[in-house]
Amino acid sequence: MNHKYILITAARNEEAYIEKTINSVISQSVLPIKWIIVSDASVDRTDEIVESYVKEHSFIQFEKSSGDKERNFGSKAKAIMFAYSLTKELNFDYIGNLDADISFESDYYKNLLDRVSSDKQLGIAGGMRFDFFRGKFKKVHCAPDSVGGPFQFFRKECFEQVGGYKSLLFGGIDIVAEVTAKMYGWKVQPYSDLTLYHHRRTGSGGDNLLKNYAYQGFKLHSLGYNSISVLYKFSRLLFEKPIFVGFLTSLSAYYLAKIKKNKIQVSEEFVKHLNNEQKEKMKFVFQKVFSKFFSK
């Protein structure tokens, strides 16, 4: 069966990376029927680069969005949903969000389509990400039921049921889509043998490292994570250079938001489901560690 897919990319000031993404897409053995690239208020050469490819590839559609003044995930979500609103007349089965700083092999989408088409309960899928950090690509480990936001690939029915991406100031648009999908009974599946290269580290779009760490804390609070889940999530930052800085900054931001009683941006049902999910994941990790320890 010939399954059709579309791609949507929101790009803000991506002149250093977007050509890698464009070349990855136009070299696919199975092309999307439409790829809508939205310039989210770019002020560098992003628009110029994209427009040069539009002339040669009819499936690429370029749009501009005024965007918010500062780079944020709320503006990104608005750009993505604006692009999606332009697809109503198209006939397709799947929709892929694709960040403008990702590259991958020419058979990536063919292999992904082969897998998602065989499981009708599979709502979100994607490959394994390697982030470029400190001069080299480093594998980003993820949960067995989680797909990286920069390349989430949705079954169309799933994307529409979860309402696409919500506009969230501190990010987490991918988390909300993913958890909501699972609330509705959809499966989320990453494939470790399908590789994507993220040419800068997730969350490093800004220049201020401390600000990016703080946003992580504000984000988890806005999504309703409880304190134990936050400690579990941020524990990976403990020995990340500069040592302790990321952990302490993110954790401090979370508790600052909690003390100030900042608004939770998701429903009570979402918060309950999310924290139950985190609880089960922590239980699984601890059981695995303890069994390994006591088996020695």
Query: Domain holding 121: CATH number?
Result: 3.90.550.10
Work out whether strand 122-133 and strand 5-11 pair parallel, antiparallel, or are unpaired: unpaired
Residues 124, 229 within the same domain: no
Q: Where are the strands (E) in 3-59, listed by range?
A: 5-11, 34-40
Q: Is residue 41 part of a domain?
A: yes
Residues 113, 155 within the same domain: yes
If you average pLDDT over residues 34-50, what whole number do you get?
96
- Last residue within a domain, chosen from 137, 163, 198: 198
Q: Is residue 204 part of a domain?
A: no
Residues 181, 229 within the same domain: no
Cross-strand bridge partners of residue 64: 39
- Last residue within a domain, chosen from 179, 198, 217: 198
Residues 85, 161 within the same domain: yes
Q: Lowest-pLDDT range, 11-20, 158-167, 227-236, 263-272?
A: 227-236
Question: Quick one: pLDDT band at residue 1, thresholds 50, 70, 90?
Answer: low
Residues 120, 266 within the same domain: no
Residues 191, 86 within the same domain: yes
If you average pLDDT over residues 63-70, what whole number do you get?
74
Residues 147, 166 within the same domain: yes
If you average pLDDT over residues 274-290, what whole number do you get?
82
If you average pLDDT over residues 96-106, what whole number do you get?
97
Question: Quick one: pLDDT band at residue 72, thresholds 50, 70, 90?
Answer: low
Residues 55, 119 within the same domain: yes
Q: What is the pLDDT of residue 204?
A: 47
Which residue has 């069966």 as its token pair? 1
Cross-strand bridge partners of residue 137: 132
Residues 62, 152 within the same domain: yes
Q: What is the pLDDT of residue 284?
A: 76
pLDDT tens digits along 139-151: 988 889 999 999 9
Range of the domain at 30: 5-198
Q: Lowest-pLDDT range, 157-166, 200-209, 245-254, 262-271?
A: 200-209
Which residue has 């088996």 as its token pair? 295
Instruction: Please count the structural domains in the chain.
Output: 2
Which pTM value belongs to this model?
A: 0.91
- Last residue within a domain, chosen from 150, 167, 198: 198
**Amino acid code (one letter) for 193:** D
pLDDT tens digits along 224-256: 999 999 998 899 889 888 889 999 999 999 999
Residues 278, 163 within the same domain: no
Q: Which residues of 116-131 are buried (b: 16+ CB within 10 A; e: fewer)?
A: beeeeebbbbbbbbbb
Which candidate, 2, 154, 187, 182, places its Cα nearest to that of 81? 154
If you average pLDDT over residues 90-110, what whole number do you get?
97
